Amino acid sequence: MEKQDYSEEYLKTLNIPEHVAVIMDGNGRWAEAKGEPRTYGHTVGSEVVEEMVEIASDLGIKFFTVYAFSTENWKRSEGEVSVLFFLFSVYLKKLIDKSKKNNVRCRIIGDKTMLDDELNAVIDELEDSTKDNTGLTFLIAINYGGRDEITRAVKKVFGEVKKGDLSIDDITEDVLTDHLDTKDIPDPDLLIRTGGEQRISNFLLWQCAYSEFYYCDTCWPDFDRDELIKAVEWYNKRDRRFGGVK
């Protein structure tokens, strides 16, 4: 894509979505097209994640969520899974210091019980050391599945009913929302999927009920600031009615 020269004045005219979520697809294909192993795409992809957090924050996005590993991604080869988890570990450790400097609050969503103790310790340190930061909130979905998240939320709610802390009549959408991994996080306004596919792939199923979906052919390792602004420009043309009539 030809580089655009977006002026600060122009960017100020845009309605910036509060929460942007991304399905970072196309790493493997991008690498294979270059004659490289798929994991090279993930390595470059993790560098793009790092850049995007800063770019999203500069643009005024308040919540930024990336889909790093789904509950279905365990089906990949052992080699690919282990490279991905190596990258998560390196990246999250780096994020501890970086987020302190950038005032970024980090949260990991997904079923963490399947992650090893070492990674869980890094996650705890990252979440704890950044919890009072007031800038961008950055959510990373690891071993995340929308159906799994809803199932876990239902189990938690049922546990409270069983204990007598909650009655069935008190179960509302808000109660369910408060038992999801994304508790206290507003729903995504804009969901971006790179890599040319047009499906939700079990990502934030509950939360995306009224999100605007933007698809682009660019593979994640090539995604950049211009691409993000293009998605925001597209979002600005949407007429959000949330089921109502204007």
**28 contacts 41 by C-beta, under 8 angstroms:** yes
Q: How far apart are CA 114 and CA 74, in angstroms?
A: 11
Q: Which stretch binds ligand FPP (CB under 6 A): 23-31, 143-151, 174-182, 203-211?
A: 23-31
**Could you say which of 58, 73, 132, 217 is catalytic?**
73
Catalytic residue (choose from 15, 25, 148, 181):
25
Q: Is 220 in the site for ligand FPP (CB under 6 A)?
A: yes
Question: What is the C-alpha to C-alpha distance for residues 200 and 243, in angstroms, rounded to an integer?
Answer: 20
User: Can you tell me which of 46, 65, 99, 130 binds ligand FPP, judged by CB under 6 A?
Assistant: 46
Residues 133-192 that bind ligand FPP (CB under 6 A): 140
CB 27 within 8 A of CB 38: yes
Q: At closest approach, how far in Å is the CB of 160 from ligand FPP? A: 32
Q: Is 73 a catalytic residue?
A: yes
Q: Which of 20, 21, 22, 24 binds ligand FPP (CB under 6 A)?
A: 24
Query: What span, in angstroms and rounded, lies between the C-alpha atoms of 170 and 193?
Result: 36
What is d(CA 152, CA 100) in angstroms, rounded to the nearest whole number?
31
- Is residue 73 close enough to count as binding ligand FPP by CB under 6 A? yes
Contact, 212 vs 191, CB < 8 A?
Answer: yes
Count of CA atoms in the C-beta half-sphere (13 A) of 15: 9
The helix (H) or strand (E) run that includes residue 99 is helix 78-102
Binding mask 76-115 for ligand FPP (x = CB under 6 A): -----------xx--x------------------------
Torsion angles phi and psi, residue 151, rounded to 5: -60, -45
Active site residue 174: no
Contact 190, 215 (CB under 8 A): no
Write down the least CB distance from residue 220 to ligand FPP, Å.
Answer: 6
66 binds ligand FPP (CB under 6 A): yes
Q: Which residue has the tokens 């071993």?
A: 143
Query: Is 26 an interacting residue with respect to ligand FPP (CB under 6 A)?
Result: yes
Q: Which residues are catalytic?
A: 25, 73
Q: Which residues bind ligand FPP (CB under 6 A)?
A: 24-29, 38, 41-42, 45-46, 49, 66, 68, 73, 87-88, 91, 140, 195, 220
